[in-house]
């Protein structure tokens, strides 16, 4: 069997020399026998070898480490020189390194910056001031400093985010400051574009609110016929899909609470359709039966939104309660599209349910007629109609949803109290 051995390293050879040398010294200076002297020599030699190993690097081991360090430095330099960011290192207020990107920004060669004091460079005065302030603050605080600044370049003005980062030596002292400038011009331009468009949209919506409020009927129509009445109109958004509607025709008062599909702008657009259709049906065509009014409203919404049996058609619509009130006889006629009527009589709140289908809705639209309910009021009775926005409110200590049961309980508790 062939056995191969690894050649002795330099440390192994020096160990033999040390043992022999120390053995000779011990034999010469002591009267001990040969074997104790040899043992003592070996111990001393081992101690000497341990000290030498810890203090003297082995060239065979350190060479790969040095090579790896050099490769790492080369890679970092390559990354810096090809970075989209402007990178500079400042030591004692002098630029010890700066990547070639400075040539593109200033049109000046690297030698105009390397090994020069920051104050002596030909940077734009505003940029120079920002650099100096950031470097000074890093030395004062020992922390990273970030500022945003304009950076005039040969290609036009750019917006830069400057990061000044402290670099520490082995004594935990700031030895240099790394100055990294990120070009954020495109990002700032995009942000400004978003802000500008947002302002335009906001202005348009605010103007739409003025138009929608101008269309809403005056509460005077309601209070003139029913003095002890109120309207609670609190849109969630600037414009709303929920709206109250009143009309007085031939001595009869028509009142509706309408809830259109969606919120905000989509709901507001539907509310305009519903508002004008109701005006046409009740005011112009003088239809007085609430159920028939809802039938015609359903046809009008379906026609206006071009809703048919096509599955790709719009599914938008509206829910509402509508009442016709005769102030003289106190007779009330009611019809509902997915919304009820609450009647408070002698302290008891009763609910009259409407039909279980909505106005419009595309292929989900109703295929039946709406029904009219007739009831007779007595002095002191109250009527309540609302959109689901009222019962969907959250609040209270536990931030719970109000819901229909609690809403009815609350309204019943208001019986006999001033509004």
pLDDT for 162 equals: 94
Q: Name the residue with higher pLDDT: 231 or 314.
A: 231
pLDDT for 49 equals: 54
Q: Are residues 25 and 158 in the same domain?
A: no
In a domain, 323, yes or no: yes
What count of Cα atoms within 13 Å lies in the side-chain half-sphere of residue 124? 16
d(CA 175, CA 167): 6
Q: Give the model confidence (pLDDT) of 299-347 as tens digits.
A: 999 888 888 666 556 778 999 999 999 989 999 999 999 999 999 988 8
Q: Mark which of 136, 160, 183 sits at the end of a domain.
A: 183
Q: Give the model confidence (pLDDT) of 190-212 as tens digits.
A: 999 999 999 999 999 999 989 88
What's 162's domain CATH number? 3.30.450.20
In the chain, the number of structural domains is 3
Can you state the angle between helices 34-55 and 10-29, rounded to 10 degrees? Answer: 140
The answer to whether residue 156 scores a pLDDT higher than 60 is yes
Count of CB atoms situated within 10 Å of the CB of 210: 9
What's 266's domain CATH number? 3.60.40.10
In a domain, 55, yes or no: no
Outline where DSSP puts E strands in 21-105. Answer: 86-91, 94-98
Q: Are residues 121 and 232 in the same domain?
A: no
Q: Residue 223 — pLDDT band, cuts 50, 70, 90?
A: confident
Q: Are residues 222 and 179 in the same domain?
A: no
157-166 mean pLDDT: 94
Which residue has 């940029």 as its token pair? 127
pLDDT for 367 equals: 65
In a domain, 1, yes or no: yes
Identify which of 121, 129, 67, 127 has the alpha carbon closest to the alpha carbon of residue 98.
121
Which residue range(s) make up the domain with 173?
A: 83-183
pLDDT for 255 equals: 95
Q: Mark which of 183, 198, 232 sits at the end of a domain.
A: 183
Q: Are residues 224 and 358 in the same domain?
A: yes
Q: Are residues 270 and 343 in the same domain?
A: yes
Q: Are residues 103 and 164 in the same domain?
A: yes
The answer to whether residue 389 scores a pLDDT higher than 80 is no
Best-predicted range by mean pLDDT (1-5, 89-93, 231-235, 314-318): 89-93
Q: Are residues 377 and 234 in the same domain?
A: yes
Q: Mark which of 9, 26, 50 sits at the end of a domain.
A: 50
Q: Are residues 353 and 399 in the same domain?
A: yes
In a domain, 176, yes or no: yes
**SS3 of 184, please?**
coil
pLDDT for 362 equals: 65
pTM check: above 0.85:
no
pLDDT for 419 equals: 53
d(CA 84, CA 73): 19
pLDDT for 16 equals: 44
pLDDT for 192 equals: 92
Q: Are residues 285 and 237 in the same domain?
A: yes
The answer to whether residue 14 scores a pLDDT higher than 50 is no
Token output for 414:
């208001």
Q: Are residues 87 and 40 in the same domain?
A: no
For all residues of the chain together, what is the average pLDDT?
81
In a domain, 345, yes or no: yes
In percent, the amount of the chain with pLDDT more than 90 equals 46
Which residue has 């005065």 as its token pair? 125
Q: Name the residue with higher pLDDT: 39 or 296.
A: 296
d(CA 76, CA 90): 17
In a domain, 62, yes or no: no
Whether 345 and 381 have beta carbons less than 8 Å apart is answered as: yes
Q: Residue 10 — pLDDT band, cuts 50, 70, 90?
A: very low
In a domain, 207, yes or no: no
Dihedral angle at the C-alpha atoms of 257, 261, 262, 264, nearest 10 degrees? Answer: -50
Q: Residue 409 — pLDDT band, cuts 50, 70, 90?
A: confident
Of 6-10, 309-313, 368-372, 381-385, minimum mean pLDDT range: 6-10
The answer to whether residue 280 scores a pLDDT higher than 50 is yes
DSSP structure string for 294-318: HHHHHHHHHHHTT-SS-TTS---EE
Strand partners, 182: 161
156-168 β-sheet, strand order:
94-98, 86-91, 174-183, 156-168, 145-153
In a domain, 68, yes or no: no
Q: Are residues 306 and 377 in the same domain?
A: yes
248-256 mean pLDDT: 93
Q: What angle do CA 209, 267, 276 make, to 5 degrees?
A: 75
The answer to whether residue 139 scores a pLDDT higher than 50 is yes
Q: Residue 64 — pLDDT band, cuts 50, 70, 90?
A: low
Q: Are residues 287 and 361 in the same domain?
A: yes
* Environment class of 259 (CB within 10 Å of its CB; exposed 0-12, middle 13-18, buried 19+): buried
């Amino acid at each position: 069997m062939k056995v191969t051995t690894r050649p002795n390293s330099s440390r192994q050879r020096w160990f033999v020399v040390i043992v022999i040398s120390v053995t000779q010294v011990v034999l010469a200076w002591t009267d001990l026998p040969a074997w104790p002297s040899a043992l003592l020599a070996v111990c001393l030699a081992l101690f000497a070898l341990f000290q030498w190993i810890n203090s003297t690097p082995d060239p065979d081991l350190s060479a790969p480490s040095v090579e790896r360090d050099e490769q790492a430095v080369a890679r970092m330099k390559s990354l810096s020189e090809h970075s989209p960011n402007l990178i500079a290192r400042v030591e004692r207020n002098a630029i010890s390194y700066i990547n070639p990107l400075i040539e593109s920004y200033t049109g000046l060669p690297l030698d105009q910056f390397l090994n020069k004091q920051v104050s002596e460079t030909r940077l734009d005065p505003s940029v120079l001031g920002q650099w100096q302030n950031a470097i000074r603050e890093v030395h004062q605080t020992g922390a990273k400093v970030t500022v945003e600044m304009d950076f005039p370049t040969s290609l036009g003005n750019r917006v830069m985010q400057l990061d000044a980062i402290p670099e520490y030596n082995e004594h935990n002292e700031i030895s240099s400051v790394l100055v990294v400038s990120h070009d954020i011009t495109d990002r700032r331009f995009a942000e400004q574009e978003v802000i500008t468009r947002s302002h335009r949209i906001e202005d348009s919506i605010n103007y739409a609110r003025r138009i929608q409020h101008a269309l809403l009927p005056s509460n005077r129509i309601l209070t003139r016929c029913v003095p002890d009445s109120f309207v609670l109109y609190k849109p969630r958004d600037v414009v709303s899909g929920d709206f109250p509607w009143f009309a007085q025709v031939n001595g009869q008062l028509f009142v509706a609470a309408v809830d259109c599909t969606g919120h905000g702008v989509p709901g507001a657009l539907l509310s305009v359709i519903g508002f004008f259709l109701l005006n046409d049906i009740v005011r112009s065509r003088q239809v007085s039966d609430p159920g028939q009014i809802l039938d015609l409203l359903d046809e009008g919404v379906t026609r206006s939104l071009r809703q048919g049996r096509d599955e790709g058609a719009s599914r938008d619509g509206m829910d509402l309660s509508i009442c016709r009130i005769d102030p003289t006889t106190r007779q009330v006629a009611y019809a509902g599209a997915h919304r009820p009527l609450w009647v408070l009589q002698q302290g008891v709140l009763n609910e009259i349910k409407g039909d279980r289908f909505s106005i419009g809705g595309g292929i989900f639209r109703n295929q039946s007629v709406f029904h009219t309910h007739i009831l007779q009021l007595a002095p002191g009775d109250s009527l309540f109609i609302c959109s689901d926005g009222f019962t969907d409110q959250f609040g209270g200590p536990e931030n719970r949803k109000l819901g229909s049961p609690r809403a009815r309980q609350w309204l019943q508790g208001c019986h006999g109290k001033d509004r």
